[in-house]
Structure 1
Amino acid sequence: MKRNKYSKIWGMMLSAALIVGGTAACSDDHFDVVVTESASASLWENMVAQSDLSNFVEILENTQVMRTDNDQNATISYAELLSSSQNFSVWAPVNDSYDAKRYLDILKEAKSVKDTDPVRFRELNRDVEVQFVRNHISRTNYEATAAPQTVRLMNDKRCEYTVGDSFNGVKMQGSTIPASNGVLHKLSGLSPFSFNIFDYLAENPEWSAVNEYVHSQDTLLFDESSSIEGTIIDGEMVYVDSVFYTSSPLSSYLGSVSSEDSMYVGVMPTNDAWNKAYEKYKTYYQYGESYDNEFNSETGRFINTGSAAYKVNADSLQEVMTKNSMLSDLFFTATQFSSIDLSDSASIVSTILSADSLQSTGWDYIYNPNAPGRNPYFGAAGNMPTKASNGYVFTVDDLAIDASKSWQNDYNQEGENLGYIYISGGMGLSLSLTEATRNDTITGVVHEESYGRYERSGVGQMYVEFSLPNVLSAKYDIYVVLLPSEINRDYIGALGEGVKENIVLNAEIYMDDDSRTSPTAEVEGLQASSDSVTHLLLFKDFKFEKCYSGLEVSSFPRLRLILPRGTYDTCRALNIDRIYMVPKGND
Structure 2
Amino acid sequence: MKRTALYRIFSVLILVMTLVLTSCNDSWDDHYSKSTKVVSDQTLYGYINSKPELSTFAEMLRISGYDKVINSDQSYTVWAPNNAALEGVDLQNEDLVVEIVRNHIARSIFSTSGVMLSRVSMLNGKYVTFIREEAGFSFGRMLLSEGNTLLKNGLLHIIDGYVPYTNNIWEHIGRTSGLDSLRSFLYRQDRFVFDPVNSVEIGYNEDDQPIYDSIFVYRNLVLDRLGHINDEDSIYTALLPNNDAWNEAYEKIRPYFNIPDVFGGAGRAHFITQFTIIQDLFYRGVYESPEAMPYMTSTNGNTMYNPASLFSNTVAQELSNGWVYQTASIQISDTASWFKPILVEAEFPQGRTNANSSILQRNSQGSGFDISDDRYIVVEPTGLSNVAQPSVTFQIPNTLSATYNIHVVFVPEAIVNPSNPRPNKANFTLVSINTTTGRIRRNPITPSNNVTDAHEVTRMHLGEFTFDFANVVDQEYPSVPVVLEVTNAVRTDETAEFSRTMRIDCIILEPVIE
TM-score, normalising length: structure 2: 0.78
Q: 1:536 aligns with which of 451, 460, 464?
A: 460
2:321 alignment partner in structure 1: 390
1:400 alignment partner in structure 2: 331
Are residues 1:361 and 2:361 paired?
A: no
CA contact (8 A) 1:404 1:583 kept: no
- Structure 2 counterpart SS, 1:267: strand
CA contact (8 A) 1:268 1:396 kept: yes
1 CA distance for matches of 2:102 and 2:195?
24
Q: 2:93 aligns with which of 87, 90, 106?
A: 106
2 CA distance for matches of 1:288 and 1:468?
17
2 CA distance for matches of 1:473 and 1:30?
63
1:455 alignment partner in structure 2: 380
CA contact (8 A) 1:94 1:187 kept: yes
Q: 2:130 aligns with which of 148, 153, 160?
A: 160
The aligned amino acid for 1:331 is F
CA contact (8 A) 1:417 1:430 kept: no
**Alpha-carbon spacing, 1:447–1:98, altered in 2? closer, same or farther (3 Å):** closer
Q: Deviations over 1:520-546 (max 9, x none)?
A: 763266232334321101132543522
1 CA distance for matches of 2:225 and 2:27?
39
Q: 1:558 aligns with which of 483, 491, 495?
A: 483
**Alpha-carbon spacing, 1:452–1:56, altered in 2? closer, same or farther (3 Å):** same
Q: Which runs of 5+ in 2 are unaligned?
A: 6-14, 30-36
CA contact (8 A) 1:281 1:322 kept: yes
CA contact (8 A) 1:217 1:248 kept: yes
1 CA distance for matches of 2:488 and 2:296?
43
Query: What is the CA-CA distance between 1:384 and the residue it aligns to?
Result: 5.5
1 CA distance for matches of 2:258 and 2:176?
32
2 CA distance for matches of 1:225 and 1:546?
38
CA contact (8 A) 1:468 1:558 kept: yes
Query: What is the CA-CA distance between 1:265 and the residue it aligns to?
Result: 2.3
Identity %: 22
Query: What is the CA-CA distance between 1:401 and the residue it aligns to?
Result: 1.8
The aligned amino acid for 1:469 is P
1:48 alignment partner in structure 2: 49
Query: What is the CA-CA distance between 1:146 and the residue it aligns to?
Result: 6.0
Q: 2:154 aligns with which of 179, 182, 186?
A: 182
CA contact (8 A) 1:328 1:363 kept: no
CA contact (8 A) 1:147 1:162 kept: yes
2 CA distance for matches of 1:553 and 1:237?
31
The aligned amino acid for 2:487 is I
- Structure 2 counterpart SS, 1:375: helix
1:569 alignment partner in structure 2: 494
Query: What is the CA-CA distance between 1:447 and the residue it aligns to?
Result: 4.6
2:507 alignment partner in structure 1: 580
Query: What is the CA-CA distance between 1:510 and the residue it aligns to?
Result: 0.7
Pairs within 5 Å for 1:274-423: 274-290=246-262, 312-334=263-285, 348-350=287-289, 352-368=290-306, 375-380=308-313, 383=314, 385-408=316-339, 410-417=341-348, 421-423=352-354
Query: What is the CA-CA distance between 1:483 and the residue it aligns to?
Result: 3.4
**Alpha-carbon spacing, 1:5–1:313, altered in 2? closer, same or farther (3 Å):** farther
Query: What is the CA-CA distance between 1:148 and the residue it aligns to?
Result: 4.3
Are residues 1:522 and 2:445 paired?
A: yes
Query: What is the CA-CA distance between 1:237 and the residue it aligns to?
Result: 10
CA contact (8 A) 1:48 1:57 kept: yes
1 CA distance for matches of 2:298 and 2:398?
20
Q: Which structure is richer in relative contact order (CA contacts within 8 A, separation 6 or more)?
A: 1
2 CA distance for matches of 1:197 and 1:399?
18
Query: What is the CA-CA distance between 1:551 and the residue it aligns to?
Result: 5.5
Shifted more, 413-422 versus 553-562: the winner is 413-422
2:11 alignment partner in structure 1: none
CA contact (8 A) 1:403 1:585 kept: no
Pairs within 5 Å for 1:422-461: 422-432=353-363, 445-447=370-372, 450-456=375-381, 457-459=383-385, 460-461=387-388
1:197 alignment partner in structure 2: 169
2 CA distance for matches of 1:417 and 1:585?
26
Are residues 1:134 and 2:102 paired?
A: yes
Query: What is the CA-CA distance between 1:57 and the residue it aligns to?
Result: 2.4
**Alpha-carbon spacing, 1:5–1:532, altered in 2? closer, same or farther (3 Å):** farther
1:34 alignment partner in structure 2: 28
CA contact (8 A) 1:287 1:547 kept: yes
Query: What is the CA-CA distance between 1:288 and the residue it aligns to?
Result: 0.6
1:89 alignment partner in structure 2: 77
1:22 alignment partner in structure 2: none
**Alpha-carbon spacing, 1:575–1:447, altered in 2? closer, same or farther (3 Å):** farther
2 CA distance for matches of 1:419 and 1:148?
58
Pairs within 5 Å for 1:219-298: 219-220=191-192, 246-290=218-262
2 CA distance for matches of 1:148 and 1:128?
30
2 CA distance for matches of 1:142 and 1:569?
87
CA contact (8 A) 2:412 2:503 kept: no
Pairs within 5 Å for 1:438-517: 445-447=370-372, 450-456=375-381, 457-459=383-385, 460-462=387-389, 463-489=391-417, 492=420, 501=422, 503-511=424-432, 515-516=440-441
1 CA distance for matches of 2:506 and 2:196?
51
2 CA distance for matches of 1:541 and 1:204?
44
The aligned amino acid for 2:106 is S
2:12 alignment partner in structure 1: none
**Alpha-carbon spacing, 1:349–1:177, altered in 2? closer, same or farther (3 Å):** closer
2 CA distance for matches of 1:434 and 1:394?
47
- Structure 2 counterpart SS, 1:191: coil
CA contact (8 A) 1:483 1:533 kept: yes
- Structure 1 counterpart SS, 2:277: helix
CA contact (8 A) 1:5 1:202 kept: no
1 CA distance for matches of 2:340 and 2:413?
30
2 CA distance for matches of 1:527 and 1:434?
25
2 CA distance for matches of 1:521 and 1:45?
86
- Structure 2 counterpart SS, 1:97: helix
- Structure 2 counterpart SS, 1:516: strand
Q: Deviations over 1:213-237 (max 9, x none)?
A: 111121346889999x9x99x9999
Query: What is the CA-CA distance between 1:424 and the residue it aligns to?
Result: 2.4
1:59 alignment partner in structure 2: 60
1:9 alignment partner in structure 2: none
Query: What is the CA-CA distance between 1:203 and the residue it aligns to?
Result: 2.1
2 CA distance for matches of 1:268 and 1:434?
46
Shifted more, 468-477 versus 416-425: the winner is 416-425
2 CA distance for matches of 1:40 and 1:224?
48
